Chains A and B, each alone.
Chain A
């Protein structure tokens, strides 16, 4: 026994005793580290899972077939550098097809300028450098490249809210990092050769595509970022919705669709077209009026009632605003909304009408967003809504109220070569698509933009837009005043070192007394 065990140990001792032992240890060190560098894992210890890729992003990364390079063009001093590099590294860790390169405009200026010139990147200035590119990240796949602009990586809340300046810390606290979604979208987009088209209906006093503050300009910009073309179409006077529209958006029409126009929309949907409809409460001569699209929605099992939704739960009301403006956070289990469940996200709702699921319809609609049970659908006249003296009565619709529903049209016969399949998402307020709501989407609590983009993703079968929810940027954001810093100074430079001195004195005195 002892002989058997002593042989290898003797051999080891001799080997260890040799002058080469030190060298062998270093070689072993090198081998261990080379192996560790090739087969590594990155663990995310953050509370909010900031650096954990969603299942969808992991799927996209793993399904990458051609080599793709992610080039991060941010300076190290820029706030988003760490997020961008970290997430890019996480994609790389999933597949050898993805490589990551960082080109710091400050530290690698020559290489940065050469890259920018090669890909024709537009120059700008960043917060830390006089030379920077408008693109924060560039995805390169063969001869193709795709830019992710800096504003796609993260967006801060507005500096001014309700006329009052918001502190910078507050803005940071409410920021959301969208790096992951931007990267996943870009990885999907660069692998796709098609570019779907979302047609935006005009001619019925809808929310305009651009121009005013109440337009949907930011939403359209987001679509462009996501490799989706948005263009206006006129239903009025046309014989049909253009066949090249992969989806049709009708946002807040104030003029009613005629029966013929509604029939054209329905025909489009039955032929496999997809609809994104945002309907506000409509008043004509102080009475609730229809928009003409109600019959189309009924075909998908959705009833848009003549009502205005009123919330009475104080937790969902906003200070100094009427109860028709509130937050809703009861998200349905549908593909569009499931990622927003359980993350404390809320949608800011402004003047919505109650939606209902028609039980006996051919299509079964599913809820995306609901109010609390305390809300109701006010069916009274305009005055009842305007004067604020709202009272729930027997004619009203009881809560919880559906504010958004998704469904599919039955008996769809898609045209040959048409990729769409008769999907419909209905929101009961058009505020969701406006610039203001899109900006809200990046604030900590509000998921307006995320919900809308997920709906677009579902309609166009762009899963990357559906399955990659935004996540809080800074779970450690603190609001510290100069006054507080004085207190902390006393604590950090006075109390803590003093405690160490006292402990030292006590230990040394105790030691002395023992001796």
Chain B
């Protein structure tokens, strides 16, 4: 645990002591701010479109504009996790140090997850502003953030796995993007296939639908298991990859 904590702190410092983290943060906030404004304008002009959903609910999973930055930024946050160690030549020393693979993996994973949380944290200010114009359903908003956290937790684990597999940061990014967007696109199969069994299967993978549920305040245990199990399997596979790499070396 102490090792994990030490690696976590080191990784977090590495994230926040580089300008890249702030560039990502600003771009992310500009993107979400723009999306939020777009939805607000639509909402103000035609509130009937929203039904039971207010602008905050529409921000979370109401459009592809929510998923695009997540699909792009999660690989960006994780691409350097192991690939950078390899590039800088510290991978070997890390692997031969008296630490368990899982501790290294968890340290790097939680640091990336923390950055992801930091990216989303300022968006709570949108709700604070909206409070001036009407009531905010904090329960539903809490569910939205919980869903966003779970989604990020799963996608970041895939990113960490990709980083462990790849030799360079670019390859890690491309591989992570392929994995995360592949998972996202697989869920859209629900709208392609018509049989009940196929629909049920693809609906289970459909992140858009999951986030629509979270956004209106519904927390489904299936979604929690889905995202947590993805993260667990991906992190386990990451440790397997590291052990394989050790064997190769």
Residues of chain A whose beta carbon lies under 8 Å from any beta carbon of chain B: 16-17, 21-22, 25-26, 28-29, 32-33, 36-37, 40-48, 50-51, 77-83, 86, 101, 107-108, 111, 127, 154, 156, 167-169, 171-173, 177, 473-482, 484-485, 488-489, 491-493, 496-497, 499-501, 503-505, 507-508, 511
Contact = CB atoms under 8 A, between A and B. Distances in A.
Contacts of B143: 45
Given A493-B34, A497-B30, A500-B29, A46 B47 contact: no
B47 A476 contact: no
Contact of A44 (B17, B129, B218): B218
Given A476-B57, A511-B17, A497 B29 contact: yes
Contact of A485 (B40, B194, B216, B236): B40
Given A44-B218, A477-B54, A497-B26, A79 B48 contact: yes
A480 B204 CA distance: 36
Interface hub of B47, B48, B55, B134 (most chain A Cβ within 10 A): B47
Contact of B52 (A47, A177, A480, A496): A177
Nearest to B46: A168
Contact of B37 (A50, A78, A489): A489
B212 interface: yes
Contacts of A127: 48
Given A177-B52, A476-B53, A476-B140, A33 B33 contact: no
Contacts of A48: 137
Contacts of A16: 240
Nearest to A489: B37
Contacts of B122: 496, 499-500
A50 B216 contact: yes
B30 A473 contact: no
B248 to A, nearest CB: 14
A79 B49 contact: yes
B44 A480 contact: yes
A473 B47 contact: no
B134 A492 contact: no
Nearest to A515: B17
Contacts of A42: 218-221
Given A50-B217, A485-B41, 14 more contacts: A41-B221, A42-B220, A43-B218, A44-B218, A79-B48, A82-B51, A101-B196, A473-B51, A488-B37, A492-B36, A497-B33, A504-B19, A507-B16, A508-B17
Contacts of A482: 44
B196 A86 contact: no
A478 B134 contact: yes
Interface of B: 16-17, 19, 21-22, 25-26, 29-30, 32-34, 36-37, 40-41, 43-44, 46-57, 122, 125-126, 129-130, 133-140, 142-143, 191, 194, 196, 204, 212-213, 216-222, 225-226, 229-230, 232-233, 236-237, 240, 243
A80 B44 CA distance: 19
A492 B33 contact: yes
Contact of B218 (A45, A492, A497, A503): A45
Q: How would you classify the secondary structure of chain B's contact residues: helix, strand, loop or mixed?
A: helix
A207 to B, nearest CB: 32
Nearest to A508: B19
B224 to A, nearest CB: 8
Contact of A474 (B25, B41, B46, B52): B52
A43 B129 CA distance: 27
6 smallest A-B Cβ distances: which pairs? A504-B22, A476-B54, A79-B51, A492-B33, A478-B134, A46-B217
Given A25-B237, A477-B134, A497-B29, A488 B51 contact: no
A485 B134 CA distance: 14
A36 B226 contact: yes
A115 to B, nearest CB: 12
B133 A172 contact: no
Contacts of A507: 16-17, 22
B55 to A, nearest CB: 7
Contact of B47 (A78, A477, A493): A477
Nearest to A512: B17
Contacts of A101: 196
Nearest to B35: A492
Contacts of A47: 137-140
B39 to A, nearest CB: 11
A83 B51 contact: yes
B130 A478 contact: yes
Contacts of B142: 45
Given A107-B191, A497-B26, A80 B217 contact: no
A168 B47 contact: yes
A476 B40 CA distance: 13
A478 B52 contact: no
Residue of B51, B142, B240 ringed by the most chain A CB atoms within 10 A: B51
Contacts of B240: 16, 21-22, 25
A454 B146 CA distance: 38
Contacts of B49: 77, 79
Contacts of B22: 500-501, 503-505, 507-508
Contacts of A477: 47, 54, 134-135
Contact of B137 (A78, A172, A177, A475): A475
Given A40-B221, A478-B55, A500-B26, A45 B50 contact: no
A173 B19 CA distance: 44
Contact of B222 (A25, A37, A177, A473): A37
A110 to B, nearest CB: 8
A477 B17 CA distance: 41
Contacts of B125: 491, 496
A25 B230 CA distance: 10
A476 B219 contact: no
Given A50-B217, A80-B51, A22 B229 contact: no
